[in-house]
């Protein structure tokens, strides 16, 4: 008992000495070399806290901060201004004009005694209000006044007039739908931009999730290659010991060293790949106004696979035909093409407008007296028709033909997209099922490879195997470990791809975005 206590005490003392030496050595190694204090402060400033994210927070950061998404969000606002511009065609227009004129003329005097000069001053003011209605009716109100003062007459002359004019299109431009076609097209363009934004957002969410899992895979690969390097190093050390004691030929050492070098090469590549994945993920998340590209990203996720039960493939196809942004985009293009056909068909008609102009005028020596004269019985009225039609009308016919062909092209393009969508969803559905089954298969393969390596190692230790066979078993095990993790990531990527291809990714992730309503072509405008 005394010996055991003494032995334990000696062990504790030795451990304490070793710990002290280790701490002293690390403190000496950590002591900075003499240099300017500013360099030390700069190194301290560069240390940043790691960015800890789970998949939900990663998506949230991308939705708030991704630069590409911020740019894309501006498109609907830009298109909305076009719609307001087209509606402005039917706004009232108020115009006004004021002018003053002096005319000097030489003429014979009335007495015939010579040449005398006459001066005439004229001041004119006009104000009018005009408005175009979607019915093809143009309404105009006007008020004008004219003041004349001439040296030829002793009195001044004032003329005031109030007028109203109405012009109605009888053929070209009569249809309300024709006159509002550009307004409706601008509204459709805004809807198209919203569906484009939705499609871009879905692609971004998919990129974030795939980048998240790719980075997780890259970090896991580093762990696998690090462990494999340690195992290869251990195998090489064991081979060297056996060569020293003469139980193993020296030629066996080359294979062990080659395996260590290969494992170190794989680890270097894995670290480089991880850095690239981290940079790509930081760009997608853009966690701050100025991204520190040296920020470490720590991923938080559950190691268990999500329990996902897919519906029959026909159900996913049906969702895709309703929700996919590109299909709704194509349907909107057909609507836009219909409006082009309507508008260009109107251009084939001749122009026939009926117009009525009515006015009352007052004449007097002063402005107030001329205004009072407007209550009199005098008035002027004008009515008539205006006709215009080019004999060949080739430009209008060409525009209409182009609109008809473009609409047919849009219909065929939609039919093609429907087929592509069905192939995309069905292919993605098969990929999800394949990768899900592959997880079990690769896990079994990894288990067998572990057993194979264990058996080959035991055979090597008893002299019934070679370093080359052990190295080959190690490579097979590493490959199976990588394949197992890769298959899990592929399964998660396949799920995200299926949800995006059917247009339900944003809905499944709880993200509200424009363009969520399916377009029904039968609903019309």
Q: What is the pLDDT of residues 148-158, one digit of tens each?
A: 888 777 778 88
Residue 482 and residue 220: Cα distance in Å, rounded? 8
Residue 98 three-state SS: strand
Q: Which of 241-250, 374-383, 399-408, 458-467 ranks highest by mean pLDDT?
A: 399-408
How many of the other CB atoms lie within 10 Å of CB of 380? 11
Q: What is the pLDDT of residues 195-252, one digit of tens each?
A: 999 999 999 999 999 999 999 999 999 999 999 999 889 888 888 888 888 877 888 8
- Region 262-282: mean pLDDT is 94
Q: Where are the domains of the chain?
A: 52-82+183-337+402-523, 93-132+137-172+351-388
> H helices of 245-356, where?
252-285, 313-323, 325-346
- The whole-angstrom separation of Cα 217 and Cα 301 is 12
b/e burial code for range 130-145 (CB count within 10 A of at least 16 → b)? eebeeebebebebebb
Please report, for residues 325, 464, 503, 510, the alpha-carbon distance to residue 513 in angstroms, rounded to integers and kept in the order given: 11, 66, 12, 10
Per-residue pLDDT for 2 more than 70? no
The pLDDT confidence band at residue 96, using thresholds 50, 70 and 90, is very high
- What CATH number does domain 52-82+183-337+402-523 carry, 3.30.450.20, 3.40.50.2030, 3.30.2130.10, 1.20.1600.10? 1.20.1600.10
Q: Are 414 and 327 in contact (CB under 8 A)?
A: yes
pLDDT in tens, 97-109: 999 998 887 666 6
Contacts from 432-437 at CB under 8 Å and sequence distance 24+?
432/310, 432/491, 432/494, 432/495, 432/498, 433/310, 434/494, 435/487, 435/490, 435/491, 435/494, 436/491
Residue 150: Cβ within 10 Å count:
16
495 pLDDT above the threshold of 90: yes
pLDDT tens, position by position, 25-41: 333 333 333 444 444 33
pTM over 0.85: no
pLDDT over 70 percentage in the chain: 88
State the CB neighbour count (10 A cutoff) for residue 109.
9
Measured torsion, CA atoms of residues 328, 330, 331, 334, in degrees rounded to the nearest 10: 160
Residues 6+ apart with CB under 8 A from 411: 334
Residue written as tokens 């601008």?
A: 186
Nearest to 245 by CA among 504, 65, 13, 463: 463
Average pLDDT over residues 479-484: 92
Evaluate if residue 23 carries a pLDDT over 60.
no
Question: How would residue 179 be classed by pLDDT, with cut points 50, 70 and 90?
Answer: very high
Number of H helices, E strands in the chain: 13, 8
Which residue is associated with the tokens 């609507």?
335
Instruction: Give the Cβ contact number of residue 34 at 10 Å.
Output: 5
Bridge partners of 107?
Answer: 116
Strand partners, 356: 166, 383
SS3 169: strand
pLDDT of residue 490 exceeding 70, the answer is yes
Q: Which helix (H) or strand (E) holds 485?
A: helix 467-501
Say if residues 174 and 354 touch (Cβ distance below 8 Å).
no
């Amino acid at each position: 008992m005394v010996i055991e206590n003494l032995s334990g005490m000696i062990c504790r003392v030795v451990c304490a000495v070793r710990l002290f030496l280790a701490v002293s050595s690390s403190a000496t190694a950590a002591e900075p070399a003499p240099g300017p204090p500013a360099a030390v402060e700069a190194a301290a400033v560069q240390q940043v806290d790691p960015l800890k994210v789970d998949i939900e927070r990663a998506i949230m950061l991308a939705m708030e901060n991704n630069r590409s998404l911020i740019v894309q969000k501006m498109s609907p606002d830009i298109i909305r201004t076009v719609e307001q511009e087209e509606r402005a065609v039917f706004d009232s227009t108020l115009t006004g004009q004021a002018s003053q004129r002096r005319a000097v003329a030489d003429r014979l005097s009335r007495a015939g005694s010579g040449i005398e000069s006459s001066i005439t001053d004229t001041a004119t003011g006009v104000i009018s209000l005009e408005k175009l209605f979607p019915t093809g009716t143009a309404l105009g109100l006007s008020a004008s006044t004219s003041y004349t003062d001439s040296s030829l007459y002793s009195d001044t002359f004032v003329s005031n007039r109030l007028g109203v004019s109405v012009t109605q299109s009888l053929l070209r431009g009569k249809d309300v739908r024709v006159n509002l076609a550009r307004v409706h097209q601008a509204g459709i363009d805004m809807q198209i931009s919203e569906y484009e934004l939705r499609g871009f957002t879905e692609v971004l969410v998919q990129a974030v999730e795939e980048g998240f899992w790719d980075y997780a895979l890259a970090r896991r690969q580093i762990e696998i290659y690090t462990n494999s390097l340690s195992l290869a190093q251990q195998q090489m050390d064991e081979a060297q010991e056996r060569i020293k004691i003469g139980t193993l030929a020296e030629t066996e050492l080359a294979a062990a060293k080659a395996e260590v070098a290969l494992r170190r090469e794989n680890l270097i590549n894995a670290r480089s790949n991880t850095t690239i994945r981290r940079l790509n993920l930081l760009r997608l998340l853009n966690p701050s106004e100025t991204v520190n590209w040296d920020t470490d990203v720590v991923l938080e996720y559950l190691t268990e696979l999500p329990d996902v039960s897919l519906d029959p493939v026909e159900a996913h196809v049906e969702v895709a035909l309703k929700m996919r942004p590109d299909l709704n985009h194509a349907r909107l293009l057909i609507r836009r093409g219909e409006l082009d056909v309507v508008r260009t068909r109107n251009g084939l008609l001749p122009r026939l407008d009926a117009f009525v102009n009515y006015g009352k005028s007052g004449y007097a020596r002063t402005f107030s007296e001329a205004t009072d004269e407007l209550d009199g019985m005098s008035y002027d009225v004008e009515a008539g028709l205006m006709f215009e039609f080019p004999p060949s009308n080739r430009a209008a016919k060409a525009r209409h033909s182009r609109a008809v062909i473009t609409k047919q092209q849009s219909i065929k393009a939609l039919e093609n997209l429907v087929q592509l969508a069905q192939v995309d969803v069905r292919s993605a559905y098969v990929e999800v099922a394949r990768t899900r089954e592959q997880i079990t298969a690769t896990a079994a393969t990894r288990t067998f490879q572990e057993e194979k390596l264990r058996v080959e190692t035991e055979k090597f230790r008893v002299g019934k195997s070679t370093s080359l066979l052990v190295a080959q078993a190690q490579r097979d095990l590493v490959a199976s470990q990588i394949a197992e993790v890769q298959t899990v990531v592929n399964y998660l990527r396949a799920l995200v791809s299926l949800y995006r291809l059917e247009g339900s990714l944003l809905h499944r992730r709880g993200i509200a975005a424009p363009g969520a309503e399916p377009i029904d072509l039968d609903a019309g405008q």
